[in-house]
Chains A and B, each alone.
Chain A
Amino acid sequence: MLSAQQEALNRGLVLPRYYGEDRLVLLPRDPYCIFAYWEITPATRERLRERWGEEAWNQAFPQLRVVKQNPAERVEESFEVTIQAEAENWYLTNLQPDCYYHLELGWRHPAAGFQPVLRSNTVRTPRDGISDLIDEEWQLPDWKSRKLYRRISLFHLSSPELFRRPKSKF
């Protein structure tokens, strides 16, 4: 609990829920999941509604387009996920490790299909395994390499166990 004096310092300051700016931000969570949050201003929605007309706008629904790129920024794959109209963030799962992703937030127009409105930053998902890339100048004989890596995996703690490090003073 914050004290009265702390509260006085905050003088009833309130953190805004919205900042009045269109934005779509992407964060990597793990090799298979990214997190997106966004804000779309009423003005932007209104502009779309005017451009598309009332009928099309009423039939349109929001979607996230997930775009997978290679490191040279060439699009390798993309697909759309339909999101709830009132959602302000989303966890996208079942993605691939060690890939570059960005998102587009938009609406599916009844006739014209997906219409992107916002584009996010690009993130790279972490690897989830030992790399197949070998530097020939840095290579142990195969049998030694296998023994070395086996030693590491032998003792690698399972994740829940690893995290039971006591920090519950919090």
Chain B
Amino acid sequence: MAQGFLALILHSHLPYVRHPEHEYSLEEKWLFEGLTECYIPLLQTMEAMRRDKIDFRLTFSLSPTLLSMLEDPFLQERYSRYLSRLQELARLEEERTAGDPEFHPLARMYRERFDSVARYYHERCGRRLLNAYRSFMEDGYIEIITCASTHGYLPLLEPQLESVYAQLANAVQYHMELFGRRPRGIWLPECAYSYGIDELLSELGVHYFITATHGVLYAAPRPKYGVYSPILAPSGVAVFGRDPETSKQVWSSREGYPGDYDYREFYRDIGYDLPMEYIGPYLHPPGLRSDTGIKYYRISGTSLEHKKPYQPERAREKAAIHAGNFMFNREQQIKYLRELMGRPPIIVSPYDAELFGHWWFEGPQWLDFLCRKIACDQDCFKMITPAEYLDLGYPLQVSQPNASSWGDKGYHEFWLNGSNDWLYRHLHRAAEEMIALATENPDAEGLLEKALAQAARELLLAQSSDWAFIMTSGTMDEYARGRAYSHLARFFNLSRQIRDGSIDEKWLKQLQETDNLFANLDYRLYQSMESTVPRSVEMAAR
């Protein structure tokens, strides 16, 4: 009998970045890097564990914008081309470094890696990673949960509750389209929770969500078991709080595993190190210095210029040691908590999936060691998904979770400050207009329905929390401002055309082709809550 449980949750999200109008797009490269370095290596790690019959459990939150990009034929084709170029570069690197005892084996490692990623993408998945995720879900290894449709920062959209509802309901609907089942849980973007959101989730038949530590810790009444058991919001939705101990071990810039000197250095990339006449054609876009993903140095604890060459075996040993350390610490933590609580604790450890493989190159390897060790080397605790934990039937304390986020300072400031606060008056006004349009046109058909659905798409895209995030962090903020501005301007133009009865069919078609996600989006999700009967679970299932 396990004394407790560990739920590892990997949140996978990128904003919708699809730019057919550019030959090369820096933003699409976020997706391609994510695929090559994180999403595919993590799937390959799970393939190996499944092959070896390792009984692991992971939870993936896959954001609807990321899923839309994974399913988009245009981006699939672009990624395929990107990957071939990368394979070509890796082969060139193998030739260039021939005879060098330190760098040649590394060049070969990258070539083999990219070849294997390409085989997995094309041959195993037929370019549709969704199939791979689905097969792990069907085999019971992973639970897939959803996220708000475009990762909208929900507490700041709350003045128009209908637009929060639409962010959630469309996500549930889209998840059901892709996976054939209702998501039992949801990842609230940036773990941002505010009072009332759980009631909408309850209406949509979602069983749980995850908050920052203080989302549960500061709940009222005081949670008997701290963050080591979910609480039940008064609406009946369960709330899991993030465990701070496991966050620290992985995230902390000072003490976290990824900063170990033996691990690969992220900031030394041949895209910056090698002469332009050689590397230029392989950069994205060509001739502009940027990362290629081929990095030959380890962190080494020195300045960037004096890094030592990467030694994969050393890094691999370190990943195994760190996995052992993580497991040992969980055993100690769980025994201690089990004794105090008198029932099995659950440790909830959410991470951004992009940490694993992209920033922390050895992350997937660490995860592989960790899952294998947990399955084979101990019997103190088990891996579990949040839904499995709920099914165990432990009584849950009713308590009101605290409004919070996992961002800087723990609340909403990163998404609401002098750099981005101008956005909200426009987002709110657009949401009001969308609600009015949907309420005034309950049975639109044909062109009008298309225009209303596209208006809803533009509003959703404008609401991505990523734009406000980028404006605060200050890099590429011109792009973020441009995206938010464009989607809002398109929305208001559509709304004007709808009201004037002068829908420009050609322009609408272009918009549909450009901002083309959520083909089955139902604009009626925006109907005013006052004018409609209470929304039921069936509404999202429609």
User: Residues on A close to B: CB < 8 A?
Assistant: 1-6, 9-11, 13-16, 19, 25, 27-31, 33, 35, 37, 39, 89, 121, 124-135, 138-140, 144-145, 147-149, 151-152, 155-157, 159-170
Contacts and interface: CB of A to CB of B under 8 A. Distances in A.
B195 interface: yes
Contacts of A168: 473, 475
B253 A148 contact: no
Contacts of A126: 218, 402-404, 411
Closest 8 CB pairs of A and B: A30-B411, A131-B220, A5-B21, A13-B489, A126-B403, A163-B408, A138-B224, A155-B245
A28 B352 contact: no
Given A155-B248, A157-B247, 8 more contacts: A2-B482, A3-B19, A130-B218, A131-B221, A133-B220, A160-B408, A163-B409, A169-B33
Interface string B473-492: 10110111011011011101
Interface stretch (B45-53, B300-308, B353-361, B520-528): B353-361
Nearest to B397: A138
B390 interface: no
Nearest to B469: A170
Interface of B: 19, 21-22, 30, 33, 155-156, 158-159, 194-195, 213-214, 217-228, 244-245, 247-248, 251-254, 333, 336-337, 340-341, 352, 354-355, 358-359, 397-399, 402-404, 406-414, 416, 421, 424-426, 428-429, 466, 469-470, 473, 475-476, 478-480, 482-483, 485-486, 488-490, 492-493, 507, 510-511, 514
10 contacts: A9-B486, A15-B485, A27-B424, A30-B409, A125-B403, A140-B341, A157-B252, A162-B247, A164-B253, A167-B352
B253 A37 contact: no
Nearest to A125: B403
B399 to A, nearest CB: 8
B482 A1 contact: yes
Contacts of B466: 170
Contacts of B158: 27
A89 B413 CA distance: 15
A168 B472 CA distance: 11
Contacts, number: 195
Contact of A148 (B219, B226, B399): B226
A132 B222 contact: yes
Contacts of B478: 1
Contact of B475 (A9, A14, A170): A170
Nearest to B19: A3
B159 to A, nearest CB: 6
A138 B221 contact: yes
Contact residues of A: prevailing secondary structure:
loop
B127 to A, nearest CB: 23
B421 A35 contact: yes
Contacts of A128: 218
B251 A29 contact: no
Contacts of B414: 163
Nearest to A150: B226
B226 A124 contact: no
A13 to B, nearest CB: 4
Given A13-B489, A127-B402, A28 B218 contact: no
A159 B33 contact: no
Contacts of B473: 167-168, 170
- Which of B352, B410, B413 lies at the interface centre, i.e. has the most chain A CB atoms within 10 A of its CB? B410
A29 B221 CA distance: 23
A133 B426 CA distance: 39
B21 A6 contact: yes
Contacts of A39: 425
A27 B192 CA distance: 14
B416 A148 contact: no
A140 B403 contact: no
A11 to B, nearest CB: 8
B244 A152 contact: yes
A133 B222 contact: yes
B340 A144 contact: yes
A43 to B, nearest CB: 18
Contacts of A166: 355, 359
B469 A148 contact: no
B408 A159 contact: yes
Contacts of B475: 168, 170
A148 B340 contact: yes
Contacts of B398: 135
A70 B398 CA distance: 22
B218 to A, nearest CB: 4
Contacts of B227: 152
B425 A131 contact: no
B421 A89 contact: yes
Contacts of B408: 159-160, 162-163
B528 to A, nearest CB: 16
Given A124-B195, A152-B227, A170-B470, A29 B412 contact: yes
Contacts of A161: 251-254
A129 B217 CA distance: 8
A8 to B, nearest CB: 9
Given A30-B409, A134-B221, A157 B337 contact: no
Contacts of B410: 30, 159, 162
A143 to B, nearest CB: 9
Given A2-B482, A133-B222, A152-B226, A157 B244 contact: yes
Given A126-B402, A144-B340, A164-B251, A6 B486 contact: yes
Contact of B222 (A13, A125, A131, A160): A131
Contacts of A15: 426, 485, 488-489, 492
Contacts of A160: 408
A130 B407 CA distance: 19
A167 B12 CA distance: 12
A16 B492 CA distance: 9
Contacts of B341: 140, 144, 148
Contacts of B333: 151
Nearest to B511: A9
A10 to B, nearest CB: 5
A129 B213 CA distance: 12
